[in-house]
Structure 1
């Protein structure tokens, strides 16, 4: 493998995006309408949870499950904010803004769910990602379950069952 292969691979990616010819959309996201910001966020959360479901069946890639679970939580939060408020996805430039907005809206009553997850995320996410800590199976499965429960709660709260593609997995 030489530098020329890396340069060629990068050029191909750039060309595909520039030409708008990225290929068929992921099946689980193909139902989305391009301009529906909330459904895009919902579909991404569903896709991440679907990947977690697949990974937990026969792999020990716990880092990926944890990372995808954190991402699915954030996308589920973002779906809710875009769907139920005047917010747009572009309003959120960093992770903390999404968590702060969810916390401010008191969606989880007085349980402090969003603040607790944000504090936990900011403390531990990068530690797992950069291999400072190594998540075990129990933690990975608990993170997946947390992501799944939050997703289900917000889909139900937003009355968006018919738009959630999680049943496709």
Structure 2
């Protein structure tokens, strides 16, 4: 890499190491569960606005991540996960949701299989994302989000409600 790009890498690293600058509106919350909730809301917002522009891969990707952030929100909210805990396995995250009763084991397994079979294909371009896939994934993510958020005591914090 040339020196300009190396300098940009160093600059980028510094932005993550320094004190916070301008924080994204809506994500300036201190509670770990609300951070996950608001992240999911933002991802759904992006997913709602990009299909008409033809960004199907981004919609699919944001839908999968929104589902995971929503599940993580509920795990923290329900005391089944500490805010500091990191679950790096997608399958394990979906299993944890089933373990605490957010949905049944079969649904958790189906989510994991959907991620394994399809997210990887579109992300690594082993398959090309379509409008129909993007719309279906967005609807799924939005419905899961609303269902899991609506049955909490903090549903009013959901940015999607506004």
Q: Does 1:112 align with 2:110?
A: no
Query: 1:87 aligned to 2:81?
Result: yes
Distance in 1 between residues matched to 2:106 and 2:153, nearest whole Å: 22
- Partners of 1:7 and 1:111 in 2: how far apart? 47
RMSD across aligned positions (CA): 1.7
Shift of 1:94: 2.1
- CA displacement, residues 106-144 of structure 1 (integer Å, 9 cap, x when unaligned): 322x47222211111112111110111112111100100
Question: TM-score scaled by structure 1?
Answer: 0.88
Paired residue secondary structure (2:95): helix
1:73 matched to 2:71? The reply is no
SS at match of 1:147: helix
- Name the SS for the 1:112 alignment partner: helix
* 2:147 paired residue number: 153
Question: Which residue in 1 is equivalent to 2:33?
Answer: 38
1:96 to 91, 116, 135: 91
**CA, structure 1 residues 38+112, in 2 after alignment: closer, same or farther (shift >3 Å)?**
same
Distance in 1 (alpha carbons) for counterparts of 2:106 and 2:154: 23
2:7 aligns with 8
1:37/1:88 contact within 8 Å kept: no
Deviation at 1:18, TM superposition (A): 2.1
Q: Which runs of 4+ in 1 moved over 6 A?
A: none
Q: Give the alignment's TM-score, normalised by structure 2.
A: 0.91
- Residue by residue, what CA displacement relative to the aligned partner does 1:49-81 show, whole Å, maximum 9, x if unpaired? 11111213x310100000000000011000000
- Residues 43-62 of structure 1: pairs in structure 2 closer than 5 A: 43-56=38-51, 58-62=52-56
